[in-house]
Amino acid sequence: MCRNIKTLRPPALPGEATDEDIRAAALQYVRKVSGFRAPAAHNREVFDRAVTAVAEATAELLGDLQVRGSAAGRPGGGAG
């Protein structure tokens, strides 16, 4: 039905995930859990809202993660 969702944090993804990367992963997730590749017209709004909510949660998660050996995601870049 859909391809695997790729890891969006370093070092699996060189650099930061783009909004496009995050949105694509959110779309794949919603497709997988809903069982719909493309929802019917009467489900389009709820499907799109779910993609947006998952993308926002993903962006927040990636922004807050602390990756060992990296200053990314740490306030002030200090050791954690």
CA distance 72 to 70: 5
Q: Over the stretch 5-61, which tens digit does the pLDDT of each residue have?
A: 788 887 777 788 899 999 999 999 999 999 999 999 999 999 999 999 999 999 999
Identify whether the C-beta of residue 56 lies closer than 8 Å to the C-beta of residue 32.
no
pTM: predicted TM-score of the whole model, two decimal places: 0.76
Residue corresponding to tokens 């050996």: 69
